[in-house]
Amino acid sequence: MYGTRKVSVVLPAYNEEQYIREAVEDFFASGVVDEVIVVDNNSRDRTADEASRTRARVVPEVKQGYGHALRRGLREASGDLIVLAEPDGTFIGRDVLKLLAYSEDFEMVCGTRTTRELIWTQANMGWFLRVGNWAVAKMIQVLYGGPSLSDCGCTLRLIHREALARIQPDFSVGGSHFLPEMVILALKKNLRIIEVPVNYRGRVGESKITGSFAGTLRTGLRMIGIAVKYRLS
């Protein structure tokens, strides 16, 4: 609980058996998380079995895709404050406290992985990914009159249940570009948004989205496409 508000954490999981148990326990260890939802997105390994050995609630999502998994988790979460995160060790459970501290004044609090001192040595944050995330974030900031934005692809973020209800019916993306869509829809609905610096560590296993140059480029182009699409619509 955070004051009188229940806190849920959503973890989208695809072949994450190596670290899923540690991730769940790390978020519970923050002392403020009441519920962890692990969304098993057709994993071919023992992700669901490993997650079921924890206090998390495991739910399946048969539609393949990062966005589909996150959207399922958002539907399943029962908290007043809902946090999106990763089950691969890249984020630290205690950073939820940073998001919660700003939730008193903002309806959506997004993490940013752009603070050099918080990017760990092993983190997958090379120059191309770093510059690309920043450029797309600034594009969204300019196109939609947003606050200062610096990281369009950071999963770690918090949203109030009431704010989620305003944008959830408009979700359309099932892939990796769901994250900027969520921000764009929030800006179009005039939600109060802020970014806060968070830790970014090296992940356990290989990234399914930005593990290669081609994957990173493909994701970036999709993010640009969704930003332009909404601006022209």
- CATH number for 108: 3.90.550.10
**Dihedral angle sign, alpha carbons of residues 82, 74, 108, 192:** negative
Length of the chain: 233
- Give the model's pLDDT for residue 127: 73
Please state the φ and ψ torsions of residue 178, each to the nearest 5 degrees.
-65, -35
Say how far apart CA 184 and CA 230 lie, in whole Å. 8
* pTM given for the model: 0.93
The pLDDT tens digits for 68-85 are 999 999 999 999 999 999
Give CA separation, 101 vs 4, 32, 195, 196, 206, in Å. Answer: 14, 12, 12, 10, 32
Q: Which amino acid would we find at residue 62?
A: V
Q: Which residues of 114-123 are buried (b: 16+ CB within 10 A; e: fewer)?
A: beeebbeeeb
What percent of the chain stands above pLDDT 70?
A: 96
Q: What is the mean pLDDT of the chain?
A: 93
- Give the model's pLDDT for residue 122: 78
The pLDDT tens digits for 16-26 are 999 999 999 99
Q: Is the pLDDT of residue 130 over 90?
A: no
Comparing 63-67, 117-121, 124-128, 225-229, which segment has the lowest mean pLDDT? 124-128
The range of the structural domain enclosing residue 121 comes to 7-232
Closest listed residue to residue 157, CA positions, set 191, 123, 206: 191
**Dihedral angle sign, alpha carbons of residues 53, 55, 60, 61:** negative
Residues 6+ apart with CB under 8 A from 229: none
- Give the model's pLDDT for residue 204: 85
67 inside domain: yes
2 inside domain: no
Confidence of residue 88 (pLDDT cuts 50, 70, 90): very high
Say how far apart CA 131 and CA 143 lie, in whole Å. 18
Residue 27 tokens read as 């978020």
- Give the model's pLDDT for residue 219: 82
Judged by DSSP in three states, 209 sits in coil
Say if CB 160 and CB 103 are below 8 A apart.
yes
Residue 177 tokens read as 């570009």
Say how far apart CA 156 and CA 113 lie, in whole Å. 9
- Give the model's pLDDT for residue 157: 98
The pLDDT tens digits for 175-217 are 989 999 999 999 999 999 999 999 999 978 665 555 556 777 8
Q: Is the pLDDT of residue 11 over 60?
A: yes
23 inside domain: yes
Say how far apart CA 160 and CA 117 lie, in whole Å. 29
210 inside domain: yes
- Give the model's pLDDT for residue 203: 78
The helices-and-strands tally (H runs, E runs) of the chain is: 8, 7
Q: Is the pLDDT of residue 224 over 70?
A: yes
Mean predicted confidence (pLDDT) in 152-176:
97
- Give the model's pLDDT for residue 206: 66
Say if CB 219 and CB 153 are below 8 A apart.
yes
Q: How many domains does the chain have?
A: 1
1 inside domain: no
What percent of the chain stands above pLDDT 90?
A: 83
